[in-house]
Amino acid sequence: MDRKQLVSEALAAREFAYTPYSGFAVGAALLTKDGKIYRGCNIESATYTPTNCAERTAFFKAVSEGERSFEAIAIVGGPAGKPPVDFCFPCGVCRQVMAEFCKEDFKIIIGKSEEEYEEYTLDDILPHMFSEKDLRK
């Protein structure tokens, strides 16, 4: 996996963020196990609650195209119109969507730039997660 390239795809996805209310633009690039990349940006609404995060946009695009096996996601975010100034971690809802579709080896790459990024597992950022296996106990 080329982490730099995945961060660069997330930065490109961020360019399309629709954020007239928060002014906070996020981009995500989701890599499938067979090497395909799905990009996502956040999309806001005047009624706020329909807002979709960049990460879920990328997941829902991929899952709705039949993808089920994921290797990694890169995420970048910050005030719109400027390069990211800080690391942007996924919200709780997006973490739960990752828990639905990703295994222990899934990598979450949080970037500021192609040169500066950190890597986490889902267990790092969502410990004691509830998932489908809990329904089978």
- Whether 71 is a known active-site residue: answer no
- The token pair at 39 is 């990009």
In this structure, the strands spanning 24-32 and 70-79 are antiparallel
- Between 49 and 64, name the residue whose CB sits nearer to ligand THU: 49
Q: Whose Cβ is closer to ligand THU: residue 77's or residue 111's?
A: 77
**Residue number, 37 or 108, with CB nearest to ligand THU:** 108
CB 34, min distance to ligand THU, A: 25
Are the C-beta atoms of 84 and 47 separated by less than 8 Å?
Answer: no
Q: Which residue, 92 or 127, is less far from ligand THU as judged by CB?
A: 92
Rounded Cα–Cα distance for residues 10 and 16 (Å): 10
Q: Report the number of secondary-structure helices (H) and strands (E) in the chain.
A: 4, 5
Would residue 96 be called left, alpha or beta, if left means φ above 0 and alpha means ψ between -120 and 50 degrees?
A: alpha
Q: How far is the CB of 89 from ligand THU (least distance, A)?
A: 6
Residue with tokens 């790092």: 124
Provide the minimum distance between the beta carbon of 26 and ligand THU in the complex, in angstroms, as a whole number: 3
Structure tokens given for 125: 């950022």
| Footprint on this chain of ligand THU (rule: CB under 6 A) | 19, 22, 24, 26, 42, 44, 51, 53-55, 77, 88, 90-91, 94
Output the smallest distance, CB 95 to ligand THU, in A: 9
Catalytic residue among 55, 67, 100, 115: 55
Active site residues: 55
